[in-house]
Amino acid sequence: MSSLLDRPAPTATTALTLRRGAARVLIDNWSGTSTVPSRTLYPHQWSWDSAFIAIGLRHLSVRRAQQELESLLAGQWADGRIPHIVFNPAVPHDAYFPSPDFWQSSRAGRAAGAPTTPETSGIVQPPVHALAAWLVHQADPQESWRRGFLARAHPRLAAWHDYLLTCRHLGGQGLAAVVHPWEPGMDNSPCWDQALQRIVPDAPEAFQRADLNHGHPSDRPTDLDYGRYVRLATDYREADYDDRALRHGFAMEDPCFNALLIVSERALAAMAHELGLDDAPHLRRADELTRQLVARLWDDDAGVFGVLDLNTHRLVGERSVSGLIPLIVPDLPYDIVRRLQESLDGPHFKAAATGLVPSYDLTGHAFDSQRYWRGPAWFNTAWLIHRGLRTHRLETDAEHLRQSYIAEAARSRFAEYVDPTTGAGRGARHFSWTAALALDLLCADPKEPMP
């Protein structure tokens, strides 16, 4: 991979320097079979991280981008779920909590078809994988065909979506539900606060957090939040990870999660067409999911999509970046696209100092510019919103966000996230998806139409 740093690229000097730095992050974070998000804070393979990482890696090595996704799919369960962590057996258990001995996937997940090895978690993360696989295929179709990448990935990814639309069809109206705050990827968002009030937390002395060894407490979720996360995961494990055997105290329909499912269904349709298979079922699913997303989660008063609490059957009254990410859905009604554009440029989400998008309403009661998903601006959500803006031909806004991403990624040394009001880097540095998606924005042709 060292030769990748010397590969010429038609970019200006500053962009070339950033490209080389991003490539170095991905090389340094390679574990031998996949890429860790961070050498310190996140020493295993994370699900949606690997999808974003593959999107960037395709500009350096299509073979390695394929391997990134294939390594993740090796941890897929027989019921179709792709777990949110695939554990590296070479990493000591005390390096990360919850560790493999907490999840006990090969025992508790046996009935659901968890693999004997590798050990995994039992929950999931947002389904961006099919989109990533399709973009990797498009980067070098000849190499993809030579290795049979698409033919092997398509049935596995189809099974993943089947799991979400059957076992996680908890609301009964078409959308997929998440059953733990870690599943939508925005762990301690204020969108979960009301629902978490129903959960009796485990006591702090009942578990040993490892994240505080590498992250400042002011950046991380509180012990109270963590106690609730642990309780939810423990209850799920004790139910053998059976979605129908447990009455979920936390069950939410999240707009980002379902928007990514829609876009990935469309990617599965493209894969099916390429493979000579019937693409119609995937397109029908995408259309129905889009209708349900608008009908169930659009909040016209807030000007963003909301989170639906399936225990109260009400939208949560918080504005989150999750509610802006449905811009990536191609067939949104025109008036909703315009409202989302206005919300991005309005007082709730316009962070003039950085040009990035805060994870939570700047004017919201729970806004915290430093604490994880309660305000900081994240790079993966910026990439998704950039893609959404381009999907709807809002090219000026998209280019502004692209330039802001590149500037802040460089200034923060590829930070995990930044304070949206100052640009100060927070969380881990040399973070893999920040580097990978910077590569994508640097290497992709901004004039090329979106697929």
- In 3-state terms, what secondary structure has residue 363? coil
Do 97 and 113 form a contact (C-beta atoms < 8 A)? Answer: no
Among 176, 179, 231, smallest CA distance to 200 is for 231
**Rg of the chain over all Cα atoms, to the nearest angstrom:** 20
Beta-carbon-side half-sphere exposure of residue 367 (alpha carbons within 13 Å): 19
- Through-space distance between the first and last CA atoms of the chain, rounded to whole angstroms: 29
Beta bridge partners of residue 35, listed in sequence order: 30
Q: Which of 140, 254, 274, 416 is catalytic?
A: 416
CB 293 within 8 A of CB 326: yes
Q: List b or e across 111-149, with b for residues whose CB sees 16 or more CB atoms inside 10 angstroms.
A: ebebbeebbbbbbbbbbbbbbbbbbbbebbeebbeebeb
- Please choose, from the candidates 437, 392, 130, 76, the residue with its C-alpha nearest in 3D space to the C-alpha of residue 261: 130
Tokens, residue 292: 């349900």
DSSP string, 222-289: PHHHHHHHHHHHHHHHHTTT-TTTS--SS-EE-HHHHHHHHHHHHHHHHHHHHTTS--HHHHHHHHHH
Q: ∠ CA(307), CA(310), CA(311), 5° rounding? A: 125
Distance CA 409, CA 126 (A): 23
* Dihedral (CA of 327, 183, 153, 441) sign: positive
What is the spatial distance between Cα 398 and Cα 196, in angstroms, rounded to a whole number? Answer: 35
Angle at 124 between CA 179 and CA 85, to 5 degrees: 135
CA dihedral (427, 428, 429, 434) positive or negative:
negative
What does the alpha-carbon distance between residue 112 and residue 100 come to, in Å, rounded to a whole number?
17
Which amino acid is present at 62? Answer: V
* H helix intervals, 109-148: 129-139, 141-147
**Catalytic member of 140, 187, 202, 219:** 187
Identify whether 187 is a catalytic site residue: yes
Give the residue numbers annotated as catalytic, written as ranges: 187, 416
